[in-house]
């Protein structure tokens, strides 16, 4: 099996060949690349496998996973294909690397957050959790996709209070939706625009360590 995406892989430097590791799959925003979100989760690189997945569509010197007809309105065919390919990528990486299948996470920003939340709904308990930074769930995912149980999926959603791309009201609506689907849901806002603040990063790192059962080194 080969990967349908280019990706950046970070294995712990003191890798134990007899162990499997919690793994974070990162998904970037529009126009960025597979290295972008490593800046957020890099401090976890000795405790987690971190795999940055590059969108397969070029855009403005970077990449995206799908195009938009309008803001908040993905091209459905491309979006559906991305979900299918990302699901396949999870299995590809689990077969290729010492990934602990009981501790697989997606972490995404903006377009990557949208995909991460959609993958939580379609993969269900095949994931341990997701981190969604400044995103939303498309309506067609909620109403037309075959949704899996997410009761045991841990969800961290954050949003900028002054987000000029997706208003913070969208973050509140998205968090309320997941609170009906899992009892393991955290929602936080930060006094930022469409980005990830140092406080946001600190909380994400702490949440991931705690959820994966790793003692903090911070």
Q: Which of 1-5, 21-25, 52-56, 132-136 has the lowest mean pLDDT?
A: 1-5
Per-chain mean pLDDT for the chain: 96
pLDDT value of residue 70: 83
As a whole number, mean pLDDT of residues 57-77 equals: 92
In this predicted model, what pLDDT tens digit does every residue of 90-146 receive, in sequence order? 999 999 999 999 999 999 999 999 999 999 999 999 999 999 999 999 999 999 999
As a whole number, mean pLDDT of residues 174-179 equals: 98
Cα–Cα distance for residue pair 169/50, rounded to 1 Å:
31
Residue 218 pLDDT level (bands cut at 50, 70, 90): very low
Name, in order, each residue with C-beta under 8 angstroms of 192's C-beta and a sequence gap of 6 or more: 160, 161, 162, 163, 200
Cα–Cα distance for residue pair 42/48, rounded to 1 Å:
9
Cα–Cα distance for residue pair 13/27, rounded to 1 Å:
23
Say whether pLDDT at 51 is over 80.
yes
Q: Which of 41, 45, 92, 58 shows the shortest CA–CA distance to 196?
A: 41
């Amino acid at each position: 099996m080969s990967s349908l995406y280019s990706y950046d892989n970070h294995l712990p430097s003191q890798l134990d060949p007899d162990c499997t590791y919690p793994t974070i799959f990162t998904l970037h925003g529009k126009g960025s690349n597979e290295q972008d979100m490593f800046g957020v989760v890099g401090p976890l690189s000795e405790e987690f496998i971190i795999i940055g997945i590059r969108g397969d569509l070029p855009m403005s010197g970077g990449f995206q996973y799908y195009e938009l007809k309008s803001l908040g309105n993905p091209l459905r065919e491309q979006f559906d294909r991305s979900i299918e390919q990302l699901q396949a990528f999870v299995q590809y990486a689990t077969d290729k690397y010492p990934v602990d299948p009981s501790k697989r996470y997606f972490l995404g920003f903006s377009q990557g957050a949208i995909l991460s939340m959609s993958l939580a709904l379609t993969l269900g308990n095949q994931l341990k959790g997701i981190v969604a930074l400044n995103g939303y769930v498309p309506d067609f995912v909620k109403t037309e996709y075959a949704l899996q149980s997410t009761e045991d999926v841990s969800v961290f959603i954050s949003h900028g209070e002054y987000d000029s791309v997706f208003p913070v009201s969208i973050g509140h609506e998205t968090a309320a939706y997941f609170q009906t689907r899992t009892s393991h849901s955290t929602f936080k806002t930060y006094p930022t625009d469409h980005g990830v603040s140092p406080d946001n990063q600190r909380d994400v790192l702490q949440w991931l360590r705690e959820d994966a059962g790793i003692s903090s080194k911070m």
